[in-house]
Structure 1
Amino acid sequence: MERNAAAGDALYDTRLNSRHLMVMFWCSMLMLFDGYDLVIYGSILPQLMHDWQLSPVTAGFIGSSALFGMMVGALTLGSSSDRFGRRRIILLCLVVFGVAAFGNAFCTNTTEFTLCRFLTGVGLGGMVPNIVALMTEMSPRSKRNIMVTIMLSFFSVGGVIAALSGKAITPAFGWRANFLIAGIPLLFFPVFFKWLPESLSYLIAQRRHAEAEPLLRRYAPDYQGTAASLAGMSDDLGHAQPRMRAAELFSHGRAVDTVLLWIAFGMCMLMVYGLNTWLPKLMAANGYSLGSSLTFLITLNIGAVIGGLFSGWLADRHGGKPTLILFFAVAAVSIGLLGYRQSPLVLNILLMAAGATTIGTLCIVHAFAAQLYPAGIRSTGVGWAAAAGRFGAVAGPALGGYLLSQQFSIGFNFLVFAIPGVVAAIAVLLISNRRVRAEHSVAALAPRAE
């Protein structure tokens, strides 16, 4: 077990207090903006296709542009905070995605619209790994899974708001009004600048003891040691160059687990973004009205909120690995069954189950990834996993557009989106139990509060 783990878990034994909850609140608001900005495209897509006479393939390409941007953002901004700090990169990402999403309201052609969606993705892709790392590092160990998944579940809250916005605002004010709402995060920048803390683990890893000491007193008031004593137990990963940090993902027996984690991320994101982009169109093609189809998107994201919260609770009690395997298996079954006409009750149950085990699973897979790596490379590990997963995210909207253009049966289309759930479950199953147990092994090294 890496010596760095002790410093990376400075709050290992601390009790939950209002400071931890405040960090969770602000990070949750950022995730809400993330969910709104991504899901809003699927909500306005039918109207946009009608107004601009877009083909399914073109619409799928535009949808994938934001997700390709997220891959770029995760690889660059997502891993930069291990060098520049979580807080600084999060604030930069807020400005990038806020300006770009707001700009979509004023686009006059597909080129401008695609560019804004790409830049929105860059900002969001850089932000998510960093708020996951920040939340992981500023949470007590006993509450870590549930706090990270509560935060990440706000992606789905944003998705529900986006679906409601698309259903209520678009008919009255047009699809552009939805992107005016997407600029609201910019108004909150001064609030985040004042209240969002820097990661204690990052400050310790960088030997910035003077800045770390007051945070240690606020977030771990019962801890008897000092920031300097915590830093004494860490290695030099905090000072490693970006390329060295990336190489660390494949050292110390991590190579196979890292690749398997990337596969799980990719398959999960393919299902998440494929469904969020194309569910209204797929359900309309299955004979439902457009209004009902947007309601199905709301149901999907309500299920995601429930699934995100439940997955965190389950992971804290039974571990992230078995929770992920169970959720991916349920995702495959529920998505596959959506391709067949069901009674209203069964249909809504399947939609909620699909949302809970795809978007909801995205919550726990981020928490799982954050705990797979020590603090010195945590943001890099989550960022690169998220970036690898964006290949699946990019493929989701593009795949849906291709399937619709080929006029395959609806049952076949949903079956294609169900297969990644099986692949992801197998990938998680093969991840080393030794690595999964690392989180619990820290206890032997972490300094204890009296």
Structure 2
Amino acid sequence: MSNISERIERLPVTPMLWRVLLLTGIGWMFDAMDQGMVAGVMAAIGRDWSLSPADLGVLGSASAVGMAAGAAIAGMVSDRWGRKTVVTFTLILYGIASAVSGFAPNFIMLLIFRFLTGLGLGGELPAASTLVSEFSPAKVRGRMVVLLESFWAWGWIVASLIAYLLIPIYGWRIGFILGGAPALYAAYLRKGIPESPRFLEEAGRFKEADEIVSKMEHQAAISYNETKETYKSCKVKLRSFTLFDLLSKIYFRRTIVLWILWFGINFGYYGFVLWTPTLLVGKGFSLVKGFEFTLIMSLAQLPGYYSASYFIEKIGRKVVLVVYLGGTAFSAYLFGKAPSVSTVLTYGCLLYFFSLGAWGAVYAYTPEVYPTKARGSGTGWAAAVGRLGAIAAPYTVGVVYEAKGKQAGFAYVFIMLTIVFAIVALVIAFAGIETKGKSLEEINSSEV
């Protein structure tokens, strides 16, 4: 194990780690607000601009196209120029594009703005989870990344409140404006985030890495005796790992498993969250009632995240992923068959509980299975492949829903999503690896 990494593994949770988590998480929250806002405004935009379900599916897919491109590009860039650079720039891009979406004069311009929003959002999320993962010692690494992901729930809750309280009064444009503008302030706050010491070490910037880790050791009242000569920097020109590298023999299994995981959970998740208010309207509820139900169900995300953050260090990544993905599949089936208001809310809460708990485990698990030199690229490409699922899902749901009619279509949509979640759970159960309790270097010391 390398010197810097060994020192990180000896640390408890320090104030610096909490600071990295908080400042990264605030940006993550605004990202979630944007995605939640799309779910809230789809029904309102469809009504105002007389859009078909297929048109709304294209709208839901527009940002996902940008997210796919952003994830792949930003992942490779973060391996070459650093995690901090990527998480700051992408949040600025996202904030500007999201805010101007509220001023779109027509459907085509809105699609363009949503693509640019996705470009920033897609680039930020994998780089941010990689940053938190690399700052964390093995004993709390999974928990810290799941807690980072839990900021998504708060953003979605705020978006649901805006959709419920403001959009029926002021229209859908206010949602995008309120979602994008605060993200620029969050980007400003991120100037205080240090670079990943593991990345700095990989880049030969030992002195900078030592200064950051030394601060963390000071905060933890841990001393480390080492001669300063060890930390003379000798900068290394890092290269980005390509798609061919990630599909080489040593990385092939882990890459394919992650791609299936990311594609499936994106397809299933975006298949229901972006459509839930619209589908509930089609089931006979008013638009305001659909927003109200979505807000209530969004609250169930929080115990989903926090329970996953607890169990991920107790029983491991694989078990948490399989249980929560399986629970999502079962909940999706029940939600599609829900006959009454009470069952819609009950099964909807279960659906949000399990699906967001699974998402937390996905973000914790993904950066762990690649070495530092390939971690950003591997995580970015997994997220990019996942966004193909997010691109396909809204449109596919729209087509199935339109073809089967409002009543039967609701059930067909959720049967389709049930099958997707179940398949992904089986892949992880039989082909995934366990990373609990191992250092990042230990996991990647040999072929997985």
Alignment match, 2:143: 146
Alignment match, 2:428: 428
Which secondary structure state, in structure 2, belongs to the residue aligned with residue 439 of structure 1? coil
Distance 1:354 1:106, change over 3 A: same
Q: Distance in 2 between matches of 1:255 and 1:438?
A: 23
Alignment match, 2:278: 281
Distance 1:19 1:54, change over 3 A: same
Distance 1:209 1:442, change over 3 A: closer
Q: State the TM-score, normalizing by the size of structure 1.
A: 0.90
Q: Distance in 2 between matches of 1:440 and 1:136?
A: 10
Which secondary structure state, in structure 2, belongs to the residue aligned with residue 242 of structure 1? coil
1:378-417 aligned within 5 A: 378-408=375-405, 409=408, 410-417=410-417
Q: Distance in 2 between matches of 1:316 and 1:278?
A: 33
* Deviation, structure 1 residue 87: 0.9
Alignment match, 2:438: 439
Any conservation in 2 of the 1:205–1:231 contact (CA below 8 Å)? no
Which secondary structure state, in structure 1, belongs to the residue aligned with residue 51 of structure 2? coil
* Deviation, structure 1 residue 187: 2.8
Alignment match, 2:296: 299
* Deviation, structure 1 residue 210: 2.4
Distance 1:206 1:353, change over 3 A: same
Alignment match, 1:110: 107
Q: Distance in 1 between matches of 2:247 and 2:398?
A: 35
Tell me if 1:267 matches 2:285: no
Distance 1:229 1:128, change over 3 A: farther
Alignment match, 1:191: 189
* Deviation, structure 1 residue 226: 5.3
Q: Distance in 1 between matches of 2:176 and 2:399?
A: 26
Query: What is the CA deviation profile of residues 343-367 of structure 1, one whole-angstrom value per residue up to 9, with x for unaligned ones?
Result: 5444323212211222331121011
Q: Distance in 1 between matches of 2:443 and 2:416?
A: 45
Alignment match, 1:206: 203
Opposite residue 138 of structure 1, the aligned amino acid is: F
The match for 1:26 among 19, 23, 28 is 23
* Deviation, structure 1 residue 44: 1.1
Q: Distance in 1 between matches of 2:125 and 2:229?
A: 30
Which secondary structure state, in structure 1, belongs to the residue aligned with residue 336 of structure 2? coil
Which secondary structure state, in structure 2, belongs to the residue aligned with residue 197 of structure 1? coil
1:70-81 aligned within 5 A: 70-81=67-78
Any conservation in 2 of the 1:304–1:355 contact (CA below 8 Å)? yes
Any conservation in 2 of the 1:334–1:351 contact (CA below 8 Å)? yes
Q: Show structure 1 runs of 4+ deviating over 6 A.
A: 227-232, 443-446
Opposite residue 414 of structure 2, the aligned amino acid is: F
User: Across the two proteins, how many residue pairs are aligned to each other?
Assistant: 436
* Deviation, structure 1 residue 142: 1.4
- Ranges in structure 2 where 5+ consecutive residues have no aligned partner: none
* Deviation, structure 1 residue 301: 2.3
Query: What is the CA deviation profile of residues 100-123 of structure 1, one whole-angstrom value per residue up to 9, with x for unaligned ones?
Result: 001111110111100110000000
* Deviation, structure 1 residue 231: 8.1
Q: Distance in 2 between matches of 1:7 and 1:324?
A: 30
The match for 2:59 among 52, 55, 62 is 62
* Deviation, structure 1 residue 228: 7.8
Alignment RMSD, CA only? 2.5
Opposite residue 334 of structure 2, the aligned amino acid is: L
Distance 1:403 1:284, change over 3 A: same
Any conservation in 2 of the 1:159–1:301 contact (CA below 8 Å)? yes
Any conservation in 2 of the 1:164–1:298 contact (CA below 8 Å)? yes
* Deviation, structure 1 residue 269: 0.8
Which secondary structure state, in structure 2, belongs to the residue aligned with residue 288 of structure 1? coil
The range that moved more, 102-111 or 300-309, is 300-309
Q: Distance in 1 between matches of 2:443 and 2:31?
A: 37
Query: What is the CA deviation profile of residues 133-163 of structure 1, one whole-angstrom value per residue up to 9, with x for unaligned ones?
Result: 1100112321111111111111121111111
Q: Distance in 1 between matches of 2:332 and 2:170?
A: 33
Opposite residue 207 of structure 1, the aligned amino acid is: G
Q: Distance in 1 between matches of 2:172 and 2:440?
A: 51
Opposite residue 310 of structure 1, the aligned amino acid is: S
Alignment match, 2:96: 99
Distance 1:226 1:123, change over 3 A: farther
Q: Distance in 1 between matches of 2:119 and 2:372?
A: 24
Q: Distance in 2 between matches of 1:307 and 1:73?
A: 27
Identity of aligned residues (%): 25
Q: Distance in 2 between matches of 1:230 and 1:336?
A: 58
Any conservation in 2 of the 1:69–1:118 contact (CA below 8 Å)? yes
Alignment match, 2:120: 123
Q: Distance in 2 between matches of 1:250 and 1:359?
A: 29
Q: Distance in 1 between matches of 2:189 and 2:313?
A: 31
Q: State the TM-score, normalizing by the size of structure 2.
A: 0.91
1:254-403 aligned within 5 A: 254-403=251-400
Q: Distance in 1 between matches of 2:186 and 2:366?
A: 29
Which secondary structure state, in structure 2, belongs to the residue aligned with residue 371 of structure 1? helix
Q: Distance in 1 between matches of 2:132 and 2:443?
A: 23
Opposite residue 16 of structure 1, the aligned amino acid is: V
Alignment match, 2:44: 47
Q: Distance in 2 between matches of 1:99 and 1:382?
A: 25
Any conservation in 1 of the 2:68–2:119 contact (CA below 8 Å)? yes
Opposite residue 201 of structure 1, the aligned amino acid is: R
